[in-house]
Structure 1
Amino acid sequence: MTESVVADYNLEIYGEPCPYPAVATLEAMASLKPGEVLEVLTDCSQSINNIPSDARNHGYEVLDISQQGVMLRYLIRR
């Protein structure tokens, strides 16, 4: 199902420690229109603890979380 989801916007955050990836994700999500999807790519391993829960707490829908090597990928719908 999530493979057919095409992100409207991409946010790549590499080399930044937490909580910056989670903060940047929430800032980006605020600028999206309802129904739009943000793809977040980060190498911050601790983001798995922050980004999904922060997104849900702000009323956003986490569509997918995947990992390839050190890279984490999130698809989040506003």
Structure 2
Amino acid sequence: MYALDALRNMKAGQVLQVIADCPQSFKSVPEEVVKHGYTLVKEPEKKGHDLYFVIKVTS
């Protein structure tokens, strides 16, 4: 997942917005965020076919 690569290069406190169009992302993105030690800032938001995730680097 490209988002994980981007998050690895970010500093604590920075936020990344991820936009996905795959329905499986609704489950997989939050799971991967927690698994890798990041924080999902708010619940995923659906707009049309797109899913929006806001992820914060915590450490």
Fold shared by both chains (TM-score > 0.5): yes
Counterpart among 52, 55, 58 of residue 73 in structure 1: 52
What corresponds to 1:33 in structure 2?
11
Q: What is the CA–CA distance in structure 2 between the aligned matches of 1:39 and 1:73, rounded to whole Å?
A: 7
Question: Which 5+ residue runs of structure 2 have no aligned equivalent?
Answer: none
Partner of 1:56, secondary structure, is: helix
Amino acid at match of 2:30: P
Q: What is the CA–CA distance in structure 1 between the aligned matches of 2:37 and 2:31, rounded to whole Å?
A: 10
CA contact (8 A) 1:35 1:77 kept: yes
Q: Deviations over 1:15-48 (max 9, x none)?
A: xxxxxxxx11111111110110000011111111
The percent of aligned pairs where both chains have the same amino acid is 32
- Is 1:51 the counterpart of 2:29? The answer is yes
Amino acid at match of 2:24: Q
Larger Rg: 1
Give the count of matched residue pairs.
56
Runs of 4+ in 1 over 4 A off after TM superposition: none
Q: CA RMSD in A?
A: 0.8
1:71 CA drift (Å): 0.5
